[in-house]
Structure 1
Amino acid sequence: MPSPLRSKESGSFAYTRWEAVESEDTTDSPITETPFYSFEEEVPATSTATPAVPWPLSPNRLTRPSMPNGHSHGSQGPISPRFDVQNSRCLSISIRTMVILVMLGVGGIIGFVARWGVHRYFVDPQGHCMTPIPFQYNAEMAKHAIDTISFSSIRDFFEEFTSENDHELGSIESSDYARSISQLWREFGIQKTELDVVKTMIPVANLRDHGHVPCEITIKDVNGTTVWSKDLDAESMAQVSYSASAIGQGQLMYGHYGRFEDFHEMGLNFSGSVVIMKLSQLYHVGSMVRNAQYFGAKAVILFPDPVNHLLTGNVSETKIKISPNESLSASAKLFPGDPYSPYFPGKSKESIPDIPVISITFSEAQTLLSNFTNAYNLTTLHTYGLPLDTQWNMNFTAMVEVNLDYEKRSIRNVIGTIPGAYEPTRYIIIGAHHDTWWKGSSQAGLGHSVLMELARVFGYLRQHSWKPGRSIIFASWDGEEIGQLGSTSWMNSHSKELNTRAVAYINLDYVLTGSSTVHIAATPLFREIIERAAKSVPCITKKNIDDDCTLFSTWIDEDAAATSLKSDKLMMSDPQHSFQSILGVSTIEVALKTLAMPYPHTNSSMDTVSAIKTILDPEFKHAALVARFLTILLLQLTMTPNLPGSVSDYANKIHSDIHTFIQVNDKDLEEHDVNVGDMVDALNKFEVAAFRFHSTYDPSFPLEFLGHHEFSDQLMELERSFLLPASYSELSGQPIPLLRSPYKHIIYGPDPLNQGMSVLFPQLSGALKLARYLNTTGLWDSVRREAFFVVDALESASCVLENHLVHTYVDDVNHPMHRMYTS
């Protein structure tokens, strides 16, 4: 199609074709302005001009503009072959560049996927260069790691800790010690360390308003004559933290262990009384005081249980007994954490008692029990080993005065992190505390020493190029002795992050309270991994390399009835700890102790270095055994691609416990129309979901790591699914005051009436016990309400395991999966 072009002479438009023209010599031509692209006008047929010869390969090419003096992009003739050659070269370079970029991109993708299988090396403690497959538990590397654990190193940490004069929470010495822990961890190779400073209110003796007598006990007869009195100094008064600052008086009554059933079954009238009770590590002091207050007590006096303590399980050995002049420290606070924290609005009154609480020695208690305490008509079931007169109705009035004030102090948690190489946002947390009441040799000292040894070993591995698959967080807590102030504060301030990222919490606060066997208190989810770890740790008595003795085999030998891991050694997690009971983070507590009665000197002035070295762990071999076990446990939790948890073990544990629960309570449940059928149906559904979860798990290459990730996330979410719904406390709340608590775990958790014990269905069990003892019709409505939440929790767990919203399963007895499970 011709194109219009304005005529140079007349200004009119003429039609031209886009044609290439022959080059003309323009050397002598005058300089003229020429457009970049020029078009030659069509020459009439009568013209003598030479017709344009088009370029043979392109008959309609644009001509290049002419330039003055022959300088141009080229002459005003046809485009030259050299121009096409240059274009071809540019095109060739572009194509090659594109190919290289594509190859680099494909190589990057392949490298990213292959990264999960690339061998990385590190130097083991013996200097060997090792190349384990990353993010995979390596038994050889684990052996070298546990060989690095040294009982002499643990002893050095212990002696350094106990050489300090003061570890009192909030003190200058304790603050300096926290900084030294942080510095030492950095030297070990844990580069990311921080001090978590928490401001809190600490109860202290009020000496300003009451001179030198902040606390006293006075006993008077019916005539008002003082027959016995005792003044306690500030140090003695501080043994019971969070007591009410008040004066309480009334008839002196014996209250046994302060359990709810004790007050109910002994048949005494505790209204308006002062109750004297035995302290035991089996029972929670806050619960004891709350129960006494519920039954009308005006004050509480605590004394040590004088029972003999057997630390080894060998009845022929010497029994340990508490000194009659030894009193025990305790916290009267009901719930963990700072009761004045904004995280617990309105909870301070429920957590702190309204009555004064005081602790005395057994020698002082003997005088009160034998001469002034009413224990009329009690049986030896309650009075065993005590000098109580059960034949006479004693009528002496006791007055207890406690003067406390609250002081603002700063406590310091030390947090050290080894980031994970593959799942850095999945946290394995391991913690112990560094504050003490007295010298704190057993509880704080040994737990702290084992934590430091683990930090040293894993820091050493990190310095030699090893990295965990998941992140390891080491935590040295402050303010734990008086009620888990440091750990609970850190947990609350990081709850949003921990809710979705925390895999497990390992508690070292009770590492050594005996020398009989390692006792594991853990969620059933980790039963399998605990058993595997126990089989990987040589026992203390192993004599040579051919000896097959392991920690697990010692458990089996001690109980011939055990077919796998002993149920009495694998209980639920620490009932008083917040990570599982409040956040739903699966928890493991490891302790070496005797199952009957633990080490008696905890929280006393007798808990000294000599006591540890003489009667508990003279060579620190037991502490080293626990450290080796924890090393294997940490490696399995951090280096296994999919978390080594077994939902089937959880289902089996609940199955066993729930049927026992129904058998024991069946008559009362049926009589008051509590529907256990829905509970059994929900349990069956959960068992089938647990079986499906493991049997259908099959991640495939190349996205295998995503399959592992989903599997691990579902295990983490399982424990959270057992928590009470978020609306429980905000909307409906707990109508029964005795059952109110921050604990949210529905399946296993602290008994609301005795938080020292872990029970199945804590809220339901507590409501059932109250309804049975108090025989009130309205309480059975609460029982039915708590039974509903049990069913809801089990069904929620089933949905989590099945990804209910995206997967469909046929819940029919004829379904192949159901038949496979039931067979």
Structure 2
Amino acid sequence: MLKRYSLLLAAALLASHLAPAQTPAAEPKPLLGFDASGAAAQYQLEAQFDAQLKTDNLRDWMKRMASRPHHVGSPHGKDNAEFMAGLFKSWGYDTRIDVSYVLFPTPKLRVLEMVAPTQFKASLTEKPLAEDATSGLTAEQLPTYNCFSKDGDVTAELVFVNYGVPKNYEELERRGINVKGKIVIAKYGGAWRGIKSKVAAEKGAIGCLIYSDPKDDGYWQGDVYPKGAFKPESGAQRGSVLDMPTYPGDPLTPGYGSTKNAKRLDYKKAPTLTQIPVLPISYGDAQPLLAALAGPMAPEAWRGALPISYHLGPGPAKVHLQLAFNWKTEPVYNVIATLKGNLYPDQWVMRGNHHDAWVNGASDPLSGLVALMEEARVAGELAKTGWRPKRTLMFCAWDGEEPGLLGSTEWAETNAKQLQKNVVAYLNTDNSERGFLFASGSHTLEKFFNQVARDVTDPQKNISISDRRRAYDLINGSPEAQKDARDRADLRIGALGAGSDYSPYIQHLGIPSMNVGFGGEGEGGEYHSIYDSFDHFTRFKDPNFAYCKVLAQTMGRAALRLVNADVLPFEFQNFSNTVAKYGTEVKQLADNMRIETEKQTRLLAEKRYEAVADPTETLLPPKAHEAVPYLNFSPLDNALLKLEQSAQTYALVRKGNPSLTAARKRELDQLLYQAEQQLLSTEGLPRRPWYRHQIYAPGFYTGYGVKTLPGIREAVEERKWAEADEQIKRTAAAVERFAGQVSRAAAVASSPPAQ
């Protein structure tokens, strides 16, 4: 009954939210960057675009490109690149394939066996299925492995470390368990896989195993493949363990392009390679190892769904892990297709998705890539009828994303100066499926993207994808998301961390970026396994390709509006509001740490702290921390005030919509799209200078997960108080530079036309 009431309430709130927005059909909704006549023409163009989208193309291209494994260095990977290049050329694009040369290790030896207290040898193979046509292409498949693991031959007792994140090791240490000299076994989930081996090495472990527990990714979630969508017993998740929070891309060419003759580091000294051997295994192979552990019971929240008692160890299970790799340099093939603008050809709108996969990759990445290809085809057809974009439109299919954003990063580093000069925005997609809109990106594009989402219809519910997302947030969102869904006119987009090809563009070059997709109703356990196939996708992910088509409609609109806008549709009040929210969060973080530290100090003095449930176990007292000082946030507060004022001024000027000459429009556009670069610092973030953006970065210990105001936030989290003071000043300076750029844009926008 409560759920039904919640659904009715959400519907009522949604209806009340929508009511004021209704307008007569004859009056097109306003569009940022367009006057009334321009908006009408743009809507007409988008109707033509929608009418020409064909789901048959999406299906046919996916089936063809997913017919064989297409990892870096594979024949089918190159063939797919050439296939796409041929299509882009036929659609009227100036097309080329740019090649970089990157380190890409592949396994030549994998051994995992338990040597005590009993003998067991892991199979390390995924079972082909008669119901999956491509799962049996074993001769072409990469075996299950973690790319950029270290070579190694180690034997040691095993310790279960839950998800293998720093706080899990704190729990182990309080139980007197030290992983130094041990091999750890961690569950997938909770953080990016590369963090698990990174933290294990920092804690002194000599090897790391990672498995998907069926509670997270298997029969606990539903029927396993092929009966259902979820991970079968032999399924294992391949993936890179490159230390991407330090820098992505080729580990041998940090900060510069990996051209054929580039100077390269010795791979044994590359700082982003994992320092211990690490291997992914199936839950079928993990079960005997975990069942042989003794020692304390794992905390209840750590226990999975295998039919065993989850103990922590160490031992008596002792395992032997031996790995060796072919440390080869391979070419990666980036397909670049360009449709030149007729008014502002030196302003580029980039649209990207990767084309490489760990195996057949129907969902990841082809569900996003075929949408990009259909967008390009239809835009090419429109151009053949006489339409031309004002700005240059570029479609990019990246290679080498899976091992560590290799293709996109090396291309960005090779062409950095030109990209910072010319690129208006970078629009990224990756895998997508049935369900709800998700969008993250530069908050200067938030209002613009809300207008895009407002104008695309969800194929299941026949409401806009924006309204469906709002309804989801009203029911299932966090308390903060529910409040935003009720109170904000615009949906709040997320912040960008890492994990896909937008990273070098926004976080290294300061190019406004978006990452968009759909999900939530196409769940499954196929990720990075042989089961990410056309058969799995068409049964469980998006059988009718309806959401692949909606993704093309969404991103097609975004690209077309950016290339056609009279003035680029950037808006700064949403950005100002969001960064102020981040500022409040980091202040609250410091305050909460202060309160918790004072409480912990008091409890330690009184010898009162929590105990474990099992009376036979002991729990060491928590470590005492030094007092948290009061940090001086006034530089950031003052910078945020200047940002708020400049954003308001620009909004008022644009609302007045003064007429501008072509030269003024060009000057204004450049100020707008290069504003994001003011948020970069030349020094970069502490201990990882490649990441230069002061507002968004992947967390040093979260990987994919974003840290906002990262310099300040991570200094506070790590209790580096002097560094926190320095990062407050550095972040404030970046915000002030940005505010100054917005003020200059407002001055240009308000200048009268030449007489």
1:356–1:199 Cα change, 3 Å: same
Q: Which residue of 2 aligns with 1:176?
A: 79
1:363 alignment partner in structure 2: 284
The 5-angstrom pairing of residues 374-385 of structure 1 reads 376-385=296-305
Residue 575 (structure 2) aligned to one of 622, 646, 650: 650
Task: Output one character per residue of 1:659-692: Cα deviation in whole Å (capped at 9) or x when no partner.
Answer: 1321232255793242122222221221112112
Task: Give SS of 1:803's match.
Answer: helix
Partners of 2:327 and 2:300 lie apart in 1 by 41
CA distance in 2, matches of 1:362, 1:495: 43
TM-score (norm 2): 0.78
- Equivalent in the alignment of 1:204: 106
The SS at the match of 2:121 is strand
| Alignment partner of 1:786 out of 679, 703, 727 | 727
Aligned equivalent of 1:799? 740
**Paired residues of 1:255 and 1:277 also in contact (CA < 8 A):** yes
Give the equivalent residue in structure 1 for 2:714.
Answer: 766
The residue that corresponds to 1:493 in the other structure is 414
Tell me how far apart the structure 1 counterparts of residues 107 and 222 of structure 2 sit (CA, whole Å): 43
Q: Is the 8 A contact 2:442 2:513 kept in 1?
A: yes
In the TM superposition, what is the alpha-carbon distance from 1:753 to its structure 2 partner?
1.2
1:310–1:672 distance in 2 versus 1, CA, 3 Å: same
**Equivalent-residue separation in structure 1 for 2:278 and 2:185 (angstroms):** 10
- C-alpha separation in 1, matches of 2:582 and 2:532: 37
In structure 2, the residue matched to 1:818 is: none
Q: Paired residue for 1:742? A: 690
The change in CA–CA distance for 1:687 and 1:265 in structure 2 (over 3 A counts) is: farther
Q: Which has the larger radius of gyration?
A: 1
Letter of the 2:305 counterpart: G
Counterpart-to-counterpart distance in 1, 2:459 and 2:151: 49
Task: Call closer, same or farther: CA 1:133–1:569 in 2, change over 3 Å.
Answer: closer
1:630 is aligned to 2:555? yes
Deviation at 1:568, TM superposition (A): 8.0
- The answer to whether the 8 Å contact 2:338/2:393 transfers is yes
| Counterpart position of 2:119 | 227
CA-to-aligned-CA distance 1:689-738 (integer Å, 9 cap, x gap):
211222234898874333333333233222111112x2x16xxx83xxxx
* 1:761-815 CA distance string (max 9 Å, x none): 22322222222xxxxxxx32222222222222212212222239999xxxxxxxx
Would you say 1:535 and 2:439 are equivalent positions?
no
Counterpart residue type for residue 392 of structure 2: S
Show the counterpart of 1:193.
95
* Aligned position for 1:273: 182
Secondary structure of 2:587's match?
A: helix
What is the SS of the residue equivalent to 1:266?
helix
**Match runs of 1:282-321 below 5 Å:** 283-307=191-215, 320-321=229-230
2:482 counterpart of 1:580: no
Picking from 503, 509, 524, the partner of 2:443 is 524
Q: Which residue is equivalent to 1:31? A: none
8 Å CA contact 1:135–1:641 kept in 2: the answer is no
Task: Give, in angstroms, the shift of residue 472 of structure 1.
Answer: 1.0
Task: Please report how far the alpha carbon of residue 274 of structure 1 lies from its aligned counterpart in structure 2 after TM superposition.
Answer: 0.9
Pairing partner for 1:607 from 523, 526, 532: 532
| CA–CA distance in structure 2, aligned partners of residues 365 and 570 of structure 1 | 38
- Which amino acid in the other structure matches residue 696 of structure 2? Y
Q: Is the 8 A contact 1:245 1:404 kept in 2?
A: yes
Matched, 1:218 2:113: yes
Output aligned runs, 1:332-371, within 5 Å: 332-335=241-244, 336-341=248-253, 343=255, 349-371=270-292
Partner letter of residue 286 of structure 2? A
C-alpha distance 194-239 of structure 1, shift in aligned 2 (>3 A): same
Instruction: Give the superposition deviation at 1:540.
Output: 0.6
What is the one-letter code of the residue matched to 1:685? Answer: K
1:249–1:685: structure 2 CA closer, same or farther, 3 Å change rule? farther
Provide the secondary structure at the position in 1 that maps to 2:556: helix
- Relative to structure 1, the CA distance from residue 148 to residue 314 in structure 2 (aligned partners, 3 Å threshold; closer, same or farther) is farther
**1:414–1:475 contact (8 Å) kept in structure 2:** yes
Query: Which residue does the alignment assign to 2:641?
Result: 684
Number of matched residues? 636
2:362 aligned partner, one-letter code? S
Deviates more, 1:581-590 or 1:570-579: 570-579
CA distance, structure 2, for counterparts of residue 642 and residue 699 of structure 1: 14
Alignment match, 2:59: 155
Q: Relative to structure 1, is the Cα distance of residues 394 and 245 closer, same or farther in structure 2, using a 3 angstrom cutoff? A: closer
Report the CA distance shift for 1:673/1:319 in structure 2 as closer, same or farther (over 3 A).
farther
Is the deviation greater in 663-672 or in 431-440?
663-672
Distance in 2, Cα, partners of 1:666 & 1:383:
33
Moved over 4 A (4+): 132-137, 231-238, 308-311, 344-348, 564-569, 667-670, 697-703, 804-807
Would the alpha carbon gap of residues 299 and 236 (structure 1) be closer, same or farther in structure 2, given more than 3 Å must change?
farther
Unaligned runs of 5+ in 2: 1-35, 126-138, 257-263, 475-481, 595-626, 749-755
Alignment partner of 1:168: what SS?
Answer: coil
Cα distance 1:319–1:683, how it changes in 2: closer, same or farther (>3 A)? farther
My pick for the range that moved more, 302-311 or 266-275, is: 302-311
Residue of structure 1 equivalent to 2:11: none
The 2-side partners of 1:454 and 1:477 are apart by 16
Return the letter of the residue paired with 2:439: I
Cα drift, residue 216 of structure 1: 0.9
Stretches of structure 1 that go unaligned for 5 or more consecutive residues are 1-131, 207-213, 544-548, 772-778, 808-823
Q: State the Cα deviation string for residues 538-566 of structure 1 (Å, max 9, x = none).
A: 221367xxxxx322222233344414779
The equivalent residue for 1:58 is none
SS at 1:413's partner residue?
strand
2:335 corresponds in structure 1 to 414
Structure 2 counterpart of 1:167:
70
Q: Once structures 1 and 2 are overlaid, which stretch shifts more, 388-397 or 493-502?
A: 388-397
Mapped partners of 2:74, 2:164: distance in 1: 33
TM-score by length of 1: 0.72
Q: Pick closer, same or farther for the CA change 1:456–1:289 going to 2, 3 Å.
A: same
Distance 2:393 2:39 in 1: 14
SS of the counterpart of 1:417? strand
SS of the residue aligned with 1:643? Answer: coil
1:694 and 2:600 correspond: no
- Distance, in Å, in 1 between the alignment partners of 2:40 and 2:243 is 43
Specify the code of the residue in structure 2 equivalent to 1:689: S
| Structure 2 counterpart of 1:715, one-letter code | L
CA change 1:171–1:385 in 2 (3 A) is closer
Residue equivalent to 1:103 = none
Contact 2:218 2:231 in 1 (8 A): no
What secondary structure is seen at the aligned counterpart in 1 of 2:638?
A: helix
Percent of aligned pairs with the same amino acid: 21
Amino acid at match of 2:344: E
Equivalent position amino acid for 2:741 in 1? V
SS of equivalent residue, structure 1 residue 415: strand
1:607-648 CA distances to partner (integer Å, 9 max, x unpaired)?
111211111111111111111111111111111121112111
Report the Cα distance in structure 2 between the residues aligned to 1:567 and 1:133, rounded to whole angstroms.
Answer: 24
SS of the residue aligned with 2:79?
helix
- In structure 2, relative to structure 1, the CA distance for the partners of 1:629 and 1:391 (3 Å cut) is closer
Which position in structure 1 is the counterpart of 2:520?
594
SS at match of 1:372: coil
Q: State whether residues 447 and 490 of structure 2, in contact with CA within 8 Å, keep that contact through their aligned partners in structure 1.
A: no
Task: Return the alpha-carbon distance in structure 2 between the equivalents of residues 610 and 622 of structure 1.
Answer: 17
1:256 aligns with 2:162: yes
Match of 1:19 in 2: none
Does residue 556 of structure 1 match 2:434? no
Residue 285 of structure 1: CA displacement?
Answer: 1.7
SS in 1 for 2:703: strand
Structure 2 distance, partners of 1:303, 1:357, is 11
The answer on whether the counterparts of 2:294 and 2:311 sit within 8 Å (CA) in structure 1 is no
Contact 1:427–1:471 (8 Å) recurs in 2: yes
Q: CA deviation at 1:229?
A: 3.0
Relative contact order, CA 8 A, sep 6+: which one is greater? 2
Give the deviation of 1:746 after TM superposition.
1.3
Q: Deviations over 1:261-287 (max 9, x none)?
A: 22223323122221111123x622222
